[in-house]
Structure 1
């Protein structure tokens, strides 16, 4: 995949994530205010957390990984979808990730999460729709066709949601991925025949 230069909406999201995350790294009160928690959202109706939490990160490495992924896939999908549609896909995926996390953890008042992973997953899955056989380099080394990556990603997320053996927000990842696919199809319906043509081309 040829790397494009940073585009407007992608740059806005990267700057917003970096700016708010850096504030959070040195301001615990700000993080507690924006953190996605079931108690805060479902019990106290603090709905800002659903959005703000997607621009906060646990540490610099968490921020770096998410922004690196957005840097590689954001500009291309912004070019394909158009800036306004890309903007909606990103934010919609973020909200979808937060929503699924809240639904899956509704009975756990200790649940808390933060990070742009839901939004970035949405962008990544939008890319998988557009270029299903483009290689995605897993861990930056192992080439995997985008469509296979998507299948493995969903399988791992479902497994992680059930196992609950780590601190990864599998719920938000899966919710964001689903949101990215649905929003891309809804806002850019011509991508469906494009995807089907790519699939049929494999067997043609």
Structure 2
């Protein structure tokens, strides 16, 4: 990993020009937000590169777990940012439109974490197999690992198609491996293990259990949210709202457009009628007439009530 150089960021200018050519309206939201985050952290990094890069020594021995997240969204220089973001631009347009914004954003989140974890595992294995502990100190940054994982996912749907790597026709299902070798030959300073980690994460998603686990987690969260939402709706609509509406309707039947005396009379009428419904049912059954009191009976009982 080379330190970031100061000066005119020609790669950044070309990237912005590329975005305007494609048109911001044509870039799906998750892709656009991810690109914006990478550009923002390039211009205003959280920490210096050596404090965000990922390595076995810094994370495992130094217990600096934040690097798993920071390292993905920081880049060594403007050209590193340019090539990664242009690749994300076209992969994101294809995949996000096909998979949907929510699932694509979910994939980006999981892949960002998984590529770092796989990178650490591979570096530890290399250190043990090769008996060379320098692998534990190799530090890497950049979005390249996630892009290789997305390439595997993108090529999975059309394994019989043909693409070109350095002018050589290659079947799409093998294109990621060809690019892995080509990039390492063209840019020896790039992280071979980081790119390989991305390919392995992509294979875990397309051929392994990662997609099933992600779907299970998404279904579990969705079910939990649905139960909470149903519980809230049940309490809101059949509980509080019904009581409130009932009280409002009951109150309106008393006060709507009536004088104080009329309100009192209506209240007495409702109270006595309710009493008559519950306590005069036997009389209704016996005499074959309804239990509701007549206006004369209400008037007599009201006089009797206030005469006490």
TM-score band by shorter chain is 0.7 to 0.9
Q: Is the 8 A contact 2:72 2:143 kept in 1?
A: yes
Would you say 1:112 and 2:139 are equivalent positions?
A: yes
Write out per-residue CA displacement over residues 81-123 of structure 1, whole angstroms, 9 at most, x where no aligned residue. 2222212222322223222221232343421000000111111
Output the CA distance in 1 between the equivalents of 2:160 and 2:26.
22
Larger RCO, structure (CA 8 Å, separation 6 or more): 1
Corresponding residue to 2:178 among 109, 134, 152: 152
Aligned to 2:205: 183
Output the CA distance in 2 between the equivalents of 1:182 and 1:110.
26
Aligned to 1:90: 108
Output the CA distance in 2 between the equivalents of 1:8 and 1:133.
30
RMSD between aligned residues: 2.9
Q: Is the 8 A contact 1:58 1:114 kept in 2?
A: yes
Q: Which runs of 5+ in 1 are unaligned?
A: 190-204
Would you say 1:36 and 2:51 are equivalent positions?
A: no
Deviation, 1:61, is 0.5
Would you say 1:130 and 2:152 are equivalent positions?
A: no
Aligned to 2:266: none
Would you say 1:15 and 2:33 are equivalent positions?
A: no
Output the CA distance in 2 between the equivalents of 1:13 and 1:113.
19
Output the CA distance in 2 between the equivalents of 1:19 and 1:137.
32
Quick check: which has more Rg, 1 or 2?
A: 2
Would you say 1:67 and 2:85 are equivalent positions?
A: yes
Aligned to 2:190: 168
Output the CA distance in 2 between the equivalents of 1:148 and 1:44.
37
Output the CA distance in 2 between the equivalents of 1:75 and 1:87.
12
Aligned length: 177
Structure 1, 59-68 or 108-117: larger mean CA deviation: 108-117
Aligned to 1:201: none
Output the CA distance in 1 between the equivalents of 2:58 and 2:29.
33
**Secondary structure of residue in 2 paired with 1:113:** coil
Write out per-residue CA displacement over residues 150-170 of structure 1, whole angstroms, 9 at most, x where no aligned residue. 34246x39xx6xx9x932212
The verdict on how the C-alpha distance between 1:72 and 1:41 changes in structure 2, with shifts beyond 3 A counting, is same
Q: Which runs of 5+ in 2 are unaligned?
A: 1-21, 125-132, 216-308
TM-score normalised by structure 2 residue count: 0.51
